[in-house]
Amino acid sequence: MKLKLARTTLKAKPKIVEITKIEEELADKSIFYFDKDNSHKELKAVIEYFEEKGYSVYMREVKYGLDENEYIYEVHIIA
């Protein structure tokens, strides 16, 4: 499964990452930020993937501007 990481600037393109790469990075960090271009269905699949592996997962939308389209997804994955 491929996901788009949050953009680092407003005009940048989101970087694409495999879910296995996220799993490898869990040793170093537990919070990941995903771009709004990811569908809600894709993010629910990520939550289910990690919950099946025994992790606790929490997701929320983080607004960074006044426009309703200015948000990213914050996902906490805890062992």
Per-residue pLDDT reduced to its tens digit, 25-71: 999 999 999 999 999 999 999 999 999 999 999 999 999 889 888 99
Q: pTM for this one?
A: 0.90
Is residue 10 a contact partner of residue 64, using CB atoms and an 8 Å limit?
no
Q: What is the pLDDT of residues 8-28, one digit of tens each?
A: 888 899 999 999 999 999 999
Contact between 43 and 1 under an 8 Å Cβ cutoff? The reply is: no
CATH class, range 2-78 = alpha beta
Q: Are 18 and 2 in contact (CB under 8 A)?
A: yes
